[in-house]
Structure 1
Amino acid sequence: MQVSDPTVRDGPPGAGAPAAGAASGRAVRAALDEPTLVARAQDGDVHAFEELARRHQDALFRVAVRVLGQRADAEDALQEALLDAWRRIGTFRGEAAFSTWMYRIVTNRCSALVRRNRPTVPLPEEDTVLIAGPDSPERSAEVDAELAALSRAVQELPHEQRTCWVLRELEGLGYAEISQVTGAGETAVRGRIHRARAALAERMREWR
Protein backbone atom coordinates (compact mmCIF):
# COMPACT_ATOMS: atom_id res chain seq x y z
CA MET A 1 0.00 0.00 0.00
CA GLN A 2 1.48 3.31 -1.05
CA VAL A 3 0.26 6.38 0.78
CA SER A 4 0.31 9.61 -1.18
CA ASP A 5 2.70 12.21 0.18
CA PRO A 6 0.84 13.92 3.06
CA THR A 7 3.07 16.95 2.99
CA VAL A 8 2.53 18.20 -0.53
CA ARG A 9 -0.10 20.73 0.50
CA ASP A 10 1.71 21.86 3.62
CA GLY A 11 5.35 21.60 2.67
CA PRO A 12 7.73 24.41 1.84
CA PRO A 13 8.21 25.65 -1.73
CA GLY A 14 10.98 24.36 -3.92
CA ALA A 15 9.28 21.98 -6.36
CA GLY A 16 10.74 21.71 -9.80
CA ALA A 17 14.26 20.59 -8.92
CA PRO A 18 15.97 18.49 -11.58
CA ALA A 19 14.98 14.84 -11.49
CA ALA A 20 18.59 13.68 -11.11
CA GLY A 21 19.10 15.99 -8.16
CA ALA A 22 15.87 14.81 -6.55
CA ALA A 23 16.89 11.19 -6.92
CA SER A 24 20.29 11.95 -5.42
CA GLY A 25 18.63 13.74 -2.51
CA ARG A 26 16.34 10.78 -1.84
CA ALA A 27 19.31 8.44 -1.80
CA VAL A 28 21.13 10.64 0.71
CA ARG A 29 18.08 10.85 2.97
CA ALA A 30 17.53 7.11 2.78
CA ALA A 31 21.01 6.62 4.24
CA LEU A 32 20.41 8.94 7.20
CA ASP A 33 19.54 7.60 10.63
CA GLU A 34 16.17 8.36 12.15
CA PRO A 35 17.26 10.96 14.76
CA THR A 36 18.92 12.99 12.01
CA LEU A 37 15.80 12.84 9.86
CA VAL A 38 13.63 13.87 12.81
CA ALA A 39 15.92 16.81 13.56
CA ARG A 40 15.82 17.93 9.93
CA ALA A 41 12.03 17.57 9.80
CA GLN A 42 11.75 19.68 12.95
CA ASP A 43 13.79 22.34 11.15
CA GLY A 44 11.17 22.36 8.39
CA ASP A 45 12.71 19.90 5.94
CA VAL A 46 9.65 18.38 4.29
CA HIS A 47 11.77 15.83 2.41
CA ALA A 48 13.18 14.49 5.66
CA PHE A 49 9.63 13.97 6.90
CA GLU A 50 8.71 12.24 3.63
CA GLU A 51 11.49 9.74 4.31
CA LEU A 52 10.24 9.16 7.86
CA ALA A 53 6.72 8.61 6.54
CA ARG A 54 8.02 6.20 3.90
CA ARG A 55 9.80 4.12 6.53
CA HIS A 56 6.82 3.83 8.86
CA GLN A 57 3.69 4.05 6.72
CA ASP A 58 3.31 0.31 6.04
CA ALA A 59 3.33 -0.60 9.74
CA LEU A 60 1.03 2.31 10.58
CA PHE A 61 -1.43 1.33 7.87
CA ARG A 62 -1.37 -2.27 9.06
CA VAL A 63 -2.36 -1.16 12.56
CA ALA A 64 -5.08 1.16 11.26
CA VAL A 65 -6.68 -1.45 9.03
CA ARG A 66 -6.65 -4.06 11.78
CA VAL A 67 -8.14 -1.69 14.33
CA LEU A 68 -10.79 -0.22 12.03
CA GLY A 69 -11.56 -3.25 9.87
CA GLN A 70 -11.99 -1.29 6.64
CA ARG A 71 -9.18 -0.38 4.29
CA ALA A 72 -10.85 2.87 3.21
CA ASP A 73 -11.23 4.04 6.81
CA ALA A 74 -7.66 2.98 7.54
CA GLU A 75 -6.36 4.97 4.57
CA ASP A 76 -8.26 8.04 5.78
CA ALA A 77 -6.92 7.62 9.31
CA LEU A 78 -3.36 7.20 8.08
CA GLN A 79 -3.47 10.22 5.78
CA GLU A 80 -4.84 12.38 8.57
CA ALA A 81 -2.28 10.98 11.01
CA LEU A 82 0.63 11.77 8.70
CA LEU A 83 -0.63 15.31 8.27
CA ASP A 84 -0.98 15.60 12.04
CA ALA A 85 2.55 14.30 12.50
CA TRP A 86 4.01 16.80 10.02
CA ARG A 87 2.21 19.69 11.69
CA ARG A 88 3.21 18.52 15.19
CA ILE A 89 6.73 17.28 14.49
CA GLY A 90 8.13 20.15 16.53
CA THR A 91 6.45 18.72 19.66
CA PHE A 92 8.34 15.41 19.45
CA ARG A 93 10.89 15.39 22.27
CA GLY A 94 12.36 11.93 21.88
CA GLU A 95 11.01 10.70 25.22
CA ALA A 96 9.74 7.62 23.37
CA ALA A 97 10.72 6.10 20.05
CA PHE A 98 9.55 8.01 16.98
CA SER A 99 7.59 4.92 15.91
CA THR A 100 5.77 4.93 19.26
CA TRP A 101 4.88 8.60 18.77
CA MET A 102 3.53 7.81 15.31
CA TYR A 103 1.56 4.79 16.56
CA ARG A 104 -0.10 7.05 19.09
CA ILE A 105 -1.13 9.59 16.47
CA VAL A 106 -2.56 6.85 14.24
CA THR A 107 -4.47 5.13 17.04
CA ASN A 108 -5.86 8.49 18.14
CA ARG A 109 -7.14 9.04 14.62
CA CYS A 110 -8.67 5.55 14.63
CA SER A 111 -10.37 6.32 17.94
CA ALA A 112 -11.79 9.52 16.47
CA LEU A 113 -13.31 7.54 13.60
CA VAL A 114 -14.79 5.01 16.01
CA ARG A 115 -16.32 7.79 18.10
CA ARG A 116 -18.10 9.03 15.00
CA ASN A 117 -19.88 5.65 15.01
CA ARG A 118 -18.74 4.74 11.56
CA PRO A 119 -19.53 1.04 11.05
CA THR A 120 -16.75 -1.48 10.71
CA VAL A 121 -16.84 -4.81 8.93
CA PRO A 122 -14.44 -7.76 9.03
CA LEU A 123 -11.47 -7.56 6.72
CA PRO A 124 -11.66 -9.56 3.50
CA GLU A 125 -10.36 -13.03 4.08
CA GLU A 126 -7.34 -12.52 1.86
CA ASP A 127 -6.18 -9.71 4.14
CA THR A 128 -6.17 -11.93 7.21
CA VAL A 129 -4.43 -15.06 5.93
CA LEU A 130 -1.24 -15.31 7.97
CA ILE A 131 -0.25 -18.95 7.51
CA ALA A 132 0.86 -21.22 4.71
CA GLY A 133 -1.64 -22.85 2.41
CA PRO A 134 -3.19 -26.15 3.47
CA ASP A 135 -2.86 -29.51 1.78
CA SER A 136 -6.38 -29.86 0.38
CA PRO A 137 -9.28 -27.70 -0.87
CA GLU A 138 -11.36 -28.87 2.09
CA ARG A 139 -8.69 -27.81 4.57
CA SER A 140 -8.23 -24.54 2.69
CA ALA A 141 -11.91 -23.74 3.05
CA GLU A 142 -11.79 -24.61 6.74
CA VAL A 143 -8.78 -22.36 7.35
CA ASP A 144 -10.40 -19.50 5.42
CA ALA A 145 -13.58 -19.84 7.47
CA GLU A 146 -11.62 -19.89 10.72
CA LEU A 147 -9.64 -16.78 9.79
CA ALA A 148 -12.83 -14.99 8.77
CA ALA A 149 -14.37 -15.92 12.14
CA LEU A 150 -11.30 -14.60 13.95
CA SER A 151 -11.47 -11.35 11.97
CA ARG A 152 -15.13 -10.91 12.96
CA ALA A 153 -14.32 -11.69 16.59
CA VAL A 154 -11.52 -9.12 16.66
CA GLN A 155 -13.79 -6.45 15.19
CA GLU A 156 -16.41 -7.16 17.85
CA LEU A 157 -13.97 -6.45 20.70
CA PRO A 158 -14.38 -3.10 22.47
CA HIS A 159 -12.21 -0.53 20.71
CA GLU A 160 -9.72 -0.13 23.58
CA GLN A 161 -9.23 -3.89 23.86
CA ARG A 162 -8.92 -4.31 20.09
CA THR A 163 -6.27 -1.59 19.82
CA CYS A 164 -4.15 -3.05 22.62
CA TRP A 165 -4.54 -6.60 21.28
CA VAL A 166 -3.53 -5.58 17.76
CA LEU A 167 -0.46 -3.72 19.00
CA ARG A 168 0.59 -6.63 21.21
CA GLU A 169 -0.34 -9.77 19.26
CA LEU A 170 -0.01 -8.58 15.67
CA GLU A 171 2.61 -5.84 15.92
CA GLY A 172 4.67 -7.31 18.77
CA LEU A 173 4.87 -4.16 20.90
CA GLY A 174 5.71 -4.50 24.59
CA TYR A 175 3.30 -3.53 27.35
CA ALA A 176 5.25 -0.39 28.24
CA GLU A 177 5.28 0.76 24.62
CA ILE A 178 1.55 0.09 24.22
CA SER A 179 1.03 2.16 27.35
CA GLN A 180 2.91 5.03 25.70
CA VAL A 181 0.90 4.64 22.49
CA THR A 182 -2.54 4.49 24.08
CA GLY A 183 -1.97 6.72 27.09
CA ALA A 184 -3.35 4.01 29.38
CA GLY A 185 -1.40 2.71 32.35
CA GLU A 186 0.56 -0.48 31.89
CA THR A 187 -1.73 -2.34 34.29
CA ALA A 188 -4.75 -1.23 32.27
CA VAL A 189 -3.04 -2.34 29.06
CA ARG A 190 -2.37 -5.79 30.50
CA GLY A 191 -5.98 -6.02 31.63
CA ARG A 192 -7.34 -5.05 28.22
CA ILE A 193 -5.16 -7.59 26.46
CA HIS A 194 -6.11 -10.30 28.96
CA ARG A 195 -9.82 -9.61 28.44
CA ALA A 196 -9.37 -9.52 24.67
CA ARG A 197 -7.57 -12.87 24.70
CA ALA A 198 -10.28 -14.40 26.88
CA ALA A 199 -13.07 -13.09 24.64
CA LEU A 200 -11.36 -14.32 21.48
CA ALA A 201 -10.69 -17.73 23.02
CA GLU A 202 -14.38 -18.03 23.90
CA ARG A 203 -15.49 -16.93 20.44
CA MET A 204 -13.07 -19.31 18.71
CA ARG A 205 -13.81 -22.33 20.95
CA GLU A 206 -15.75 -24.10 18.20
CA TRP A 207 -12.66 -24.04 15.98
CA ARG A 208 -10.48 -25.95 18.42
Structure 2
Amino acid sequence: MQSDEQLAAHAQQGNAEAYAELVTRYQQRLFRFLQTRCASRADAEDALQDAFVDAWRYLHSYNSRWRFSTWLYRIALRRAARQRNDATPGEQVATDPGGDPLAVCIAADERENLWRTARRLLGEDAVTALWLHSVEGMAIKDIARALQRSLPWTKVSLMRSRRRLRAALMAQEAASPESEAYG
Protein backbone atom coordinates (compact mmCIF):
# COMPACT_ATOMS: atom_id res chain seq x y z
CA MET A 1 0.00 0.00 0.00
CA GLN A 2 1.35 3.40 -0.98
CA SER A 3 1.74 6.19 1.54
CA ASP A 4 -0.27 9.38 1.26
CA GLU A 5 2.86 11.21 0.21
CA GLN A 6 3.57 8.71 -2.57
CA LEU A 7 0.00 9.01 -3.83
CA ALA A 8 0.28 12.80 -3.73
CA ALA A 9 3.47 12.62 -5.80
CA HIS A 10 1.70 10.48 -8.40
CA ALA A 11 -1.27 12.85 -8.36
CA GLN A 12 1.09 15.79 -8.91
CA GLN A 13 2.18 14.04 -12.09
CA GLY A 14 -1.44 13.99 -13.27
CA ASN A 15 -2.54 10.59 -11.98
CA ALA A 16 -6.23 11.12 -11.15
CA GLU A 17 -6.55 7.60 -9.71
CA ALA A 18 -3.91 8.39 -7.10
CA TYR A 19 -5.80 11.52 -6.11
CA ALA A 20 -9.07 9.56 -5.99
CA GLU A 21 -7.42 7.17 -3.53
CA LEU A 22 -6.41 10.12 -1.32
CA VAL A 23 -10.00 11.40 -1.41
CA THR A 24 -11.25 7.95 -0.41
CA ARG A 25 -8.78 7.79 2.48
CA TYR A 26 -9.66 11.21 3.88
CA GLN A 27 -13.29 11.80 2.95
CA GLN A 28 -14.98 10.47 6.11
CA ARG A 29 -12.32 11.68 8.55
CA LEU A 30 -12.26 15.16 7.03
CA PHE A 31 -16.05 15.33 7.00
CA ARG A 32 -16.27 14.46 10.73
CA PHE A 33 -13.65 17.13 11.41
CA LEU A 34 -15.50 19.74 9.33
CA GLN A 35 -18.76 18.99 11.12
CA THR A 36 -17.15 20.32 14.30
CA ARG A 37 -16.06 23.48 12.49
CA CYS A 38 -19.13 24.32 10.39
CA ALA A 39 -22.58 25.52 11.40
CA SER A 40 -24.47 22.73 9.67
CA ARG A 41 -24.07 19.38 8.01
CA ALA A 42 -24.68 21.02 4.63
CA ASP A 43 -21.92 23.57 5.30
CA ALA A 44 -19.55 20.75 6.26
CA GLU A 45 -20.40 18.91 3.04
CA ASP A 46 -19.76 22.06 1.01
CA ALA A 47 -16.49 22.74 2.82
CA LEU A 48 -15.40 19.14 2.25
CA GLN A 49 -16.08 19.32 -1.47
CA ASP A 50 -14.39 22.71 -1.76
CA ALA A 51 -11.36 21.47 0.22
CA PHE A 52 -10.85 18.54 -2.13
CA VAL A 53 -11.28 20.76 -5.18
CA ASP A 54 -8.77 23.25 -3.75
CA ALA A 55 -6.36 20.43 -2.91
CA TRP A 56 -6.50 19.19 -6.50
CA ARG A 57 -6.16 22.71 -7.87
CA TYR A 58 -3.15 23.52 -5.70
CA LEU A 59 -1.58 20.07 -5.61
CA HIS A 60 1.43 21.47 -7.46
CA SER A 61 2.23 23.51 -4.33
CA TYR A 62 2.27 20.48 -2.00
CA ASN A 63 5.79 19.78 -0.72
CA SER A 64 6.45 16.11 0.06
CA ARG A 65 8.76 17.13 2.93
CA TRP A 66 5.56 17.55 4.95
CA ARG A 67 2.78 15.10 5.65
CA PHE A 68 -0.04 15.21 3.14
CA SER A 69 -2.64 15.09 5.93
CA THR A 70 -1.26 18.29 7.48
CA TRP A 71 -1.50 20.10 4.15
CA LEU A 72 -5.03 18.81 3.50
CA TYR A 73 -6.34 19.71 6.98
CA ARG A 74 -4.92 23.21 6.58
CA ILE A 75 -6.92 23.62 3.36
CA ALA A 76 -10.04 22.28 5.09
CA LEU A 77 -9.55 24.73 7.99
CA ARG A 78 -9.47 27.63 5.57
CA ARG A 79 -12.63 26.40 3.85
CA ALA A 80 -14.44 25.95 7.16
CA ALA A 81 -13.40 29.42 8.29
CA ARG A 82 -15.13 30.87 5.26
CA GLN A 83 -18.41 29.17 6.14
CA ARG A 84 -18.25 29.19 9.92
CA ASN A 85 -20.43 31.18 12.22
CA ASP A 86 -20.93 30.81 15.96
CA ALA A 87 -23.59 28.10 15.69
CA THR A 88 -22.99 24.68 17.21
CA PRO A 89 -21.74 21.82 15.03
CA GLY A 90 -24.11 20.18 12.61
CA GLU A 91 -26.06 17.06 13.37
CA GLN A 92 -23.80 14.09 13.84
CA VAL A 93 -25.72 10.89 13.21
CA ALA A 94 -24.36 7.64 14.54
CA THR A 95 -25.80 4.58 12.89
CA ASP A 96 -25.52 1.06 14.17
CA PRO A 97 -28.43 -1.02 12.87
CA GLY A 98 -27.66 -3.85 15.28
CA GLY A 99 -27.37 -1.61 18.33
CA ASP A 100 -29.90 -0.15 20.69
CA PRO A 101 -31.32 3.02 19.03
CA LEU A 102 -31.56 4.82 22.38
CA ALA A 103 -27.92 4.03 23.20
CA VAL A 104 -26.85 5.24 19.75
CA CYS A 105 -28.73 8.53 20.27
CA ILE A 106 -27.32 9.02 23.76
CA ALA A 107 -23.75 8.38 22.56
CA ALA A 108 -24.16 10.81 19.64
CA ASP A 109 -25.60 13.46 21.98
CA GLU A 110 -22.73 13.02 24.44
CA ARG A 111 -20.15 13.45 21.65
CA GLU A 112 -21.91 16.56 20.40
CA ASN A 113 -22.13 18.00 23.93
CA LEU A 114 -18.43 17.38 24.48
CA TRP A 115 -17.41 19.31 21.37
CA ARG A 116 -20.03 22.02 22.00
CA THR A 117 -18.59 22.48 25.50
CA ALA A 118 -15.07 22.54 24.07
CA ARG A 119 -16.02 25.21 21.52
CA ARG A 120 -17.60 27.32 24.26
CA LEU A 121 -14.61 27.08 26.63
CA LEU A 122 -11.64 27.05 24.30
CA GLY A 123 -10.55 29.11 21.34
CA GLU A 124 -11.06 27.79 17.82
CA ASP A 125 -7.39 26.86 17.39
CA ALA A 126 -7.36 25.01 20.72
CA VAL A 127 -10.48 23.01 19.77
CA THR A 128 -8.95 22.21 16.41
CA ALA A 129 -5.70 21.08 18.03
CA LEU A 130 -7.63 18.92 20.48
CA TRP A 131 -9.69 17.33 17.68
CA LEU A 132 -6.68 16.67 15.46
CA HIS A 133 -4.80 15.06 18.34
CA SER A 134 -7.63 13.17 20.05
CA VAL A 135 -9.82 12.12 17.15
CA GLU A 136 -7.48 12.08 14.17
CA GLY A 137 -4.39 10.92 16.06
CA MET A 138 -2.26 13.55 14.39
CA ALA A 139 1.24 14.14 15.76
CA ILE A 140 1.81 17.36 17.70
CA LYS A 141 4.37 18.66 15.21
CA ASP A 142 1.87 18.16 12.38
CA ILE A 143 -0.87 19.93 14.35
CA ALA A 144 1.48 22.86 14.93
CA ARG A 145 2.21 23.00 11.22
CA ALA A 146 -1.47 22.73 10.23
CA LEU A 147 -2.45 25.54 12.62
CA GLN A 148 0.66 27.57 11.82
CA ARG A 149 1.54 27.70 15.51
CA SER A 150 4.73 26.91 17.38
CA LEU A 151 5.38 23.47 18.83
CA PRO A 152 5.41 24.81 22.43
CA TRP A 153 2.07 26.61 21.85
CA THR A 154 0.54 23.39 20.56
CA LYS A 155 1.79 21.30 23.50
CA VAL A 156 0.68 23.84 26.09
CA SER A 157 -2.64 24.40 24.36
CA LEU A 158 -3.41 20.68 24.33
CA MET A 159 -2.50 20.32 28.00
CA ARG A 160 -4.54 23.35 29.09
CA SER A 161 -7.47 22.41 26.86
CA ARG A 162 -7.72 18.92 28.32
CA ARG A 163 -7.55 20.32 31.87
CA ARG A 164 -10.21 22.97 31.25
CA LEU A 165 -12.49 20.53 29.46
CA ARG A 166 -12.09 17.88 32.15
CA ALA A 167 -12.84 20.41 34.92
CA ALA A 168 -15.91 21.72 33.08
CA LEU A 169 -17.26 18.24 32.45
CA MET A 170 -16.69 17.21 36.06
CA ALA A 171 -18.47 20.35 37.28
CA GLN A 172 -21.31 19.70 34.83
CA GLU A 173 -21.61 16.10 36.01
CA ALA A 174 -21.59 17.14 39.67
CA ALA A 175 -24.37 19.65 39.00
CA SER A 176 -26.60 17.28 37.01
CA PRO A 177 -29.73 15.93 38.73
CA GLU A 178 -28.83 12.36 37.74
CA SER A 179 -25.62 12.49 39.78
CA GLU A 180 -27.61 13.34 42.91
CA ALA A 181 -30.17 10.61 42.26
CA TYR A 182 -27.58 7.90 41.62
CA GLY A 183 -24.65 9.23 43.62
* Common fold: TM-score over 0.5: yes
> Quick check: which has more Rg, 1 or 2?
1
Instruction: Report matched runs for 1:94-133 at 5 Å.
Output: 94-114=64-84, 118-124=85-91, 126-127=93-94
Q: Which moved more, 1:82-91 or 1:45-54?
A: 45-54
Gaps of 5+ in 2: 175-183
Aligned residues: 170
> Percent identity between the aligned chains?
29
Q: 2:117 aligns with which of 128, 153, 158?
A: 153
In the alignment, the residues of structure 1 paired with residue 123 and residue 43 of structure 2 have an alpha-carbon distance, to the nearest angstrom, of: 17
Structure 1 spans left out of the alignment, 5+ residues: 1-30
Query: Would the alpha carbon gap of residues 159 and 52 (structure 1) be closer, same or farther in structure 2, given more than 3 Å must change?
Result: same
Question: What is the distance in 1 between the residues matched to 2:133 and 2:150?
Answer: 15
Give 1:124 deviation, angstroms.
Answer: 3.7
- Cα separation, 2, equivalents of 1:90 and 1:39: 9
CA drift of 1:62 comes to: 1.7
Separation in structure 2 between the aligned mates of residue 143 and residue 36 of structure 1, nearest angstrom: 37
The alignment yields a C-alpha RMSD, in angstroms, of: 3.1
- CA offset digits 1:69-100 (Å, max 9, x no partner): 53222111111111111011111121112122
Q: CA deviation at 1:166?
A: 0.5
1:73 is aligned to 43
Q: Does 1:207 align with 2:173?
A: yes
Q: Distance in 2 between matches of 1:76 and 1:108?
A: 13
Letter of the 1:97 partner, please give it. R
The aligned amino acid for 1:78 is L
- The 1:207–1:146 alpha-carbon spacing in structure 2 relative to 1, beyond 3 Å, is farther
Which AA in structure 1 matches 2:28? D
Give yes or no for contact 1:161–1:192 (8 Å, CA) kept in 2.
yes
Query: Is the contact made by 1:65 and 1:74 (CA closer than 8 Å) also made in structure 2?
Result: yes
Aligned mate of 2:159, from 194, 200, 203: 194
1:203: how far off? Answer: 2.3
TM-score w.r.t. the length of structure 2 is: 0.75
What amino acid sits opposite 2:124 in the alignment?
H
Letter in 2 for 1:79: Q
